[in-house]
Amino acid sequence: MKKLLIFLSLIIAIYLIGQLALNSHTVQDRILNIGLKNILSNSEPFLDKEDSLKVVICGSRSPLPSPGRAESCVLVEAGDDIYIFDMGNGSVNNLQEFQVPWTNVKAVLITHMHSDHMADLPDAHLQSWIQGRNSPLMVYGPVGINLVTKGFELAYSADYQYRNEHHGEEILPMSVSGFNAVEIIDNELIPNDTPGLEILPFVVDHHPVNSSFGFKVSYKGRTVVISGDTIHDGSVQKYSQDIDLLVHSAISIDIVERMRKVAPTPQFNKILFDIQDYHTKIEEAGEIARDANVKHLLIYHSIPTPRNTIMERVFFRPLEGIYEDYTLSDDGTRVVMPVGNNEIVIDKIN
C-alpha cells in the first residue's frame, strides 16, 4: 500500500513538473524550434536511389466527399522524373505533405476536363513557382485545355503580380508564370526527356465528356495503365494486356443505389442516377484485370469511396470469384516496381 502511494505521488509529481515545463517560454521555444526544423528539413526525401517505376496516389476519391481524401491525382515517378496525372481538389496539399520536389515534375497530364481532375492546377502553379520552376508549368490535356489554363491565368493574374512584386523577379519571375498547355493526340506518345520512358495516351468513353484519355506508361520493362474516367468500352483492357499495374476508377452500383434511397434532395438523387452511366462498374474493373492478365489492380476514384471496413467489403463484394489481386488506394498509397525484376511492392507514404 505504501509502495503504491509513493508510486502515485511520483506520477503526480512528474505530471505537475511536465505541466509547469510546458508553461515555460524557454521549453515552448525549444520544442517549437525542433518541430519547425523537422517540418522544413525535408528529412525523408521523396526520391530514392532505386531505379524503378513508382506510382503514388495523390488523390483517391471521386467528387463524392470522403474524409481525409483528395480528388483524383496519380503521380508516376520514372527514375528521378515525375509526371502527375490529374490534379483534383486537395491533391496539391497531399503533394506538399509528401514533400514532392516540384523541380523534378516534368509535366501535369489531365485525363479530361471535369473539375475533380483539374481544380488544383492553380495551386500546382504556385507551389512549383515557389520551388524554382524555370519555365511555365507544362500541362497536357484534351482539346480545349488551353482555354482552361488561359482561364486560370486570367483569374490569377493579380495573384501572379502581387507575388512577383512582393518577393521580387529573382524569386518569382513573371517570365515563368502561367502554363504551357499542349493538346493530347490519341495514340501519339507524350514527348519527354526521361530515358526509357514512354507515355501513351488513348481515348476512353466518358460521354458526354467529348474528349477523355487513359494512359499507358512504360519504363524499362515495367508498366502501368491509368484509366481516367470511363465506361468499360474495351480500350483500357486493350492497353492493359500483361501490364504490372492497372490504376482504375470504379463505381459500386449497389452502394450508389442504396444512397439514392436515402438521398436528402431530389437533385442529389438525380445526380446519383446519372453518374451510373459513365463509369466502369467495380466488377467490370475486375473482369478487365482478369482478362488482360494484369498483375495488380489498384482502385482509385471509387464511387463512393468506402469510409470504413464494412463499406469497403460491400464495395468489393462483386469482385468475389472474378479477381483477387486488388487494393483500394488511399491518399499516399505507393506502388514500387523496381527495374529488372517482377516485384510489386505496395506501401503507404506516412
Residues forming contacts to Zn ion in the complex (CB under 5 A) are 114, 116, 229
Q: At closest approach, how far in Å is the CB of 10 from Zn ion?
A: 58
Q: Say how far apart CA 159 and CA 149 lie, in whole Å.
A: 15
Residue 312 half-sphere exposure toward CB, CA atoms < 13 A = 11
Comparing CB distances to Zn ion, the nearer of 81 and 116 is 116
Q: At closest approach, how far in Å is the CB of 256 from Zn ion?
A: 14
First to last CA, the chain: 45
Q: At closest approach, how far in Å is the CB of 142 from Zn ion?
A: 11
The three cell numbers locating residue 278: 459513365
Comparing CB distances to Zn ion, the nearer of 78 and 119 is 119
Task: State the pairing for strand pair 137-141/73-78.
Answer: unpaired
Residues ≥6 apart with Cβ < 8 Å to 6: none
Q: At closest approach, how far in Å is the CB of 298 from Zn ion?
A: 16
Comparing CB distances to Zn ion, the nearer of 163 and 206 is 206
Comparing CB distances to Zn ion, the nearer of 62 and 128 is 62
Report the amino acid identity of residue 302.
S
Q: At closest approach, how far in Å is the CB of 222 from Zn ion?
A: 26
Q: At closest approach, how far in Å is the CB of 86 from Zn ion?
A: 8
Comparing CB distances to Zn ion, the nearer of 218 and 305 is 305
Comparing CB distances to Zn ion, the nearer of 212 and 218 is 212
Comparing CB distances to Zn ion, the nearer of 177 and 305 is 305
Residues ≥6 apart with Cβ < 8 Å to 91: 58, 59, 70, 71, 72, 73, 120
Cell 508516376 sits on residue: 76
Which residue, among 97, 96, 88, 84, has the nearest Cα to 56 in the 3D structure?
A: 84
Q: At closest approach, how far in Å is the CB of 212 from Zn ion?
A: 7
Q: Say how far apart CA 197 and CA 76 lie, in whole Å.
A: 11
Q: At closest approach, how far in Å is the CB of 249 from Zn ion?
A: 7
Which residue, among 53, 46, 93, 102, has the nearest Cα to 73 in the 3D structure?
A: 93
The three cell numbers locating residue 311: 463499406
Q: Say how far apart CA 145 and CA 110 lie, in whole Å.
A: 8
Residues ≥6 apart with Cβ < 8 Å to 166: none
**Is-contact 74 335, C-beta < 8 A?**
no
Comparing CB distances to Zn ion, the nearer of 229 and 244 is 229
Strand residue runs (E) in 252-344: 296-303, 326-328, 333-338
Q: Say how far apart CA 87 and CA 113 lie, in whole Å.
A: 11
